[in-house]
Amino acid sequence: MSIAKEKQQSNAVPMIIVAGLFFILGFATWLNGSLMPYLKQILQLTPFEASLIIFSFYIAVTFTALPSAIVIRKVGYKNSMALGMGTMMVAGLLFIPAAKTQIFPLFLLAQLVMGTGQTLLQTAVNPYVVRIGPEESAAARISVMGILNKGAGVVAPVVFTALILSNFTDTVGTELTPIQIDAMANSLILPYLGMAIFIGLLAFAVKKSPLPELASEADGEGDNTGHLKETLAHPNLILGVVALFFYVAAEVIAGDTIGTFALSLGVENYTMMTSYTMVCMVAGYILGIALIPRIISQQKALMVSAVIGLLLTAGIVFGDNNSFAIADTLLGGLKLPDTLVLIAFLGFANAIVWPAVFPLALSGMGKLTSIGSALLVMGISGGAFGPLFWSITSTSTQMGEQGGYLVLFPCYLFILFYAVKGCKMRAWRL
């Protein structure tokens, strides 16, 4: 057996483990799209209060990303992955007293802890994708992990609906009695207990797995702080961070508010709606892999995505909630209003924004690439603010939750600006 083949086989088990972790990350992330409208119905939340469920999850990225890097430096990558999953297990257990007491701040605490554990796990697991296996095939591995992550977003709402909502579909559009509220809240306990146990066992398995430890990148790098000012002098990077902020805001609005909007329209299986957005996103991801850069450049693909996003947003905001024409034509008569279908189609428009912006933003960064990458990851915090702005707009316009999608216009307009001009800027002089 050749040395290359032996190395390929030795990398197979670690990559399977990493693939499983990316699926877990996606499952925990996109479960929010089902949880948000479900808790809105049980706890009778306003759109703003419901948006805090997503905010508390994503805001963890903002203040735990850098501490996560410190933890990794202290205990190593593999131990940090186990610690991150252990934190997610604790979050799952916190849902039990939250469900029993129906105290909203307890749910927010559980979401915050879940986001913290997920941030640590994501910070630790991402380098494995690049550094386990040949460097020339890293892009292919990243694409596969991305599909797994979004694929989990298809599965999570289906599992949530089957285990939790299936016995309560007749409650949509009705005023809940105290007995119904208790029953719906208690239905969260066993699934979240099961998820906590599963994640805990997986954390133990990762700790004992043959996953190799990665060497620290901190050694010999010098003082990164000294390079920060130099990094900020690159407009293509800084504008890229802003573009990713708006992109993640749009992505989370499309994935996590669609269920809440469906609930307001009286759709019974509203917790399933995130799956439709994720299916469109996976389709867009696969199409992007096939077309970029063979047929279309990253920059032009980003431009097309922004334009599609703007057109879909116009259709959502000004569309007719009583029309089912798109579903009748494309989905075999599935009874979904056109506006909901168009929100799901946003997943297709959003799919390749992150893969396109990241390399465009890091172009020409050289020795500053690691600092630039860290700043770009901070753009994930847009996921905390997107639903928040959506909820504020929902309550401040005559159009209600449908009008909340007006916030998508500035998101896609900035992404379009970045595709046309921002990514080419190498100095702040316009």
Confidence grade of residue 100 (pLDDT, cut at 50, 70, 90)? very high
Please check whether residues 234 and 190 belong to one and the same domain.
no
Same domain, 159 and 295: no
Domain boundary among 163, 179, 210: 210
pLDDT tens sequence across 47-56? 899 999 999 9
- 1 in any annotated domain: no
Token match 């759109």: residue? Answer: 47
Asked if 96 and 129 touch (Cβ cutoff 8 Å), the reply is no
Mean pLDDT on 82-95? 95
- Cβ(79)–Cβ(21) below 8 Å: no
Whether residue 293 has pLDDT greater than 80: no
**What pLDDT is recorded for position 430?**
56
User: Which two tokens mark 55?
Assistant: 């905010």
Residue 421 has φ and ψ, to the nearest 5°, of: -130, -45
Write out the residue range of the structural domain in which residue 290 sits. 227-430
Confidence tier at 7 by pLDDT (50, 70, 90)? very low
Q: What pLDDT is stored for residue 320 in this prediction?
A: 92
What CATH number did the domain enclosing 24 receive?
A: 1.20.1250.20
- Residue 195: both structure tokens together: 């998820």
Same domain, 275 and 160: no
Calpha distance 368→364 (Å, rounded): 9
Q: Which residues lie closer than 8 Å to 221 by C-beta, 6 or more apart? A: 370
Query: Could you give the CA distance from residue 257 to residue 390 in angstroms, rounded to a whole number?
Result: 8
* Domain end call among 155, 180, 210: 210
User: Is residue 217 a part of any domain in this protein?
Assistant: no
- List all residues 6 or more positions away from 118 whose beta carbon is below 8 Å from its beta carbon: 25, 28, 29, 57, 60, 84, 88
CA–CA distance from 286 to each of 140, 146, 300 (Å)? 11, 10, 17
Are residue 305 and residue 419 in the same domain, yes or no?
yes
Predicted pLDDT at 423? 86
Helix axes 104-131 and 77-101, enclosed angle (nearest 10): 160
My answer on whether 293 and 404 are in the same domain is yes
Cα 277 from Cα 255, distance rounded (Å): 6
pLDDT of 223 above 60: no
Q: What percent of the chain has pLDDT over 70?
A: 90
Q: What is the DSSP letter of 319?
A: S
Alpha-carbon dihedral sign for residues 299, 316, 329, 155: positive
Output the CA torsion sign for 236, 242, 246, 249.
positive
Q: What pLDDT digit, counting tens, does each position of 32-81 carry?
A: 888 999 999 999 999 899 999 999 998 987 788 778 878 887 888 888 88
What is the rounded distance in angstroms from the CA atom of residue 180 to the CA atom of residue 168?
9
| Residue 246: per-residue pLDDT | 96
pLDDT value, residue 1:
43
Q: Are residues 188 and 325 in the same domain?
A: no
Within-domain flag for 221: no
pLDDT at 322 over 70: yes
Q: Are residues 154 and 192 in the same domain?
A: yes
The residue from 175, 210, 245 where one domain ends is 210
Structural domain count, the chain? 2
The Cα–Cα gap between 106 and 27 comes to: 21
CB atoms within 10 A of CB 137: 9
Q: Is residue 232 located within the same domain as residue 158? A: no
At 377 the three-state DSSP class reads: helix
Q: What is the pTM of this model?
A: 0.83
What is the distance between the alpha carbons of residues 430 and 422, in angstroms, rounded to a whole number? 10
The Cα 22–Cα 30 span in angstroms is: 12
User: Which of 271-285, 307-321, 359-373 has the least mean pLDDT?
Assistant: 359-373
> Using CA atoms, how far apart are residues 12 and 293, in angstroms rounded to an integer?
28
How is 212-251 classified by DSSP, letter by letter? PPPPPS-TT---THHHHHHHTT-HHHHHHHHHHHHHHHHH
Residue 148 lies in a domain: yes
- Residues 376-394 as b or e (16 or more Cβ within 10 Å = b): bbebbbbbbbbbbbbbebb
What residue has token string 């847009």?
A: 382
Average pLDDT over residues 2-20: 64
Query: Percent of the chain at pLDDT above 90?
Result: 38
Residues 92 and 29 in one domain: yes
Q: What pLDDT score does 4 carry?
A: 44
Same domain for 407 and 315:
yes
Q: Phi and psi dihedrals of 211, rounded to 5? A: -60, 120
